[in-house]
Structures are given as C-alpha cells and as structure tokens.
Amino acid sequence: VETRVETKPVAEGDTLNPFWGETHNVEPWCEGESLEFTVYDQGLLGSKTEGKAVLPSDLFYPQGFSGMLLISGLPHALLHVIVRPIGPLVASGETAENPDVDASSKKKKKKLKFGKKRKQCC
C-alpha cells in the first residue's frame, strides 16, 4: 500500500523559495520505510518533476528528524523537513508522521508530494 500526500501549490510570494508550512499525517507507515519528497513545477500544460529527496527511516524513527535534505535534480536546493513519530502506534510499527515542509527551489508554482518508499513492512 503506497501512501501519498500532496500539498497546496505555492503560487504567490517568493516562488523561487517556496514555503509550504503544512502538517500531514502519513499512514499507514511501517518501520524501515523511507519518506520520499517530490517537488513539482506546475505550468500551464501540466506539472513536471523538479527533484526528489529521500529521508531514510533510521534518520527519523524513533527519535524524529528536523533538518535540510538535498533535492536531487536541483543542485542548489534544500528542503527543510520536520518529522515527528506520534502516538501509541509507534510501538506497533503502524505510526503516523507529521512532516512540516518548506523548501527552496526554482520556477513558478511549486507543489510538493511525499509518500513512503517501501523496504519492508510489518
């Protein structure tokens, strides 16, 4: 089962350094699964992938993570991510994550999607 979450596009303000400031729960999630963040540029005729960042589970589980991730495909761009494993479900391996995301990247409207990258599951 793949879980995907999509942010609202950033079309106003500094679109070269977009800020999402959104919080999402990602569930189900199993220990060992990475989180993958994808930055899209939304144009008039559709959207295209600008770059991706992957956060391996050993960097955020069980202690959480707050920091910058390099975005492949965007050599000078960083994505600031905060991940907090929450609730009693952490012990069972079926936890939700709360990433707050902001980023700096290039071009017009920016959209961020993130989901799990499965290695193993429960």
Quick: pLDDT tens for 20-55: 889 988 888 888 999 999 988 877 777 788 899 999
Which three-class secondary structure state does DSSP give residue 43?
A: strand
Place of tokens 């799990």: 116
Give the residue among 21, 16, 17 at the shortest CA–CA distance from 8: 21
- Provide CB contacts within 8 A for 65, sequence distance 6+: 55, 59, 81, 82, 83
What pLDDT score was predicted for residue 107?
35
pLDDT along the chain (122 residues), means of 10: 82 84 87 91 80 94 95 92 74 40 41 57 46
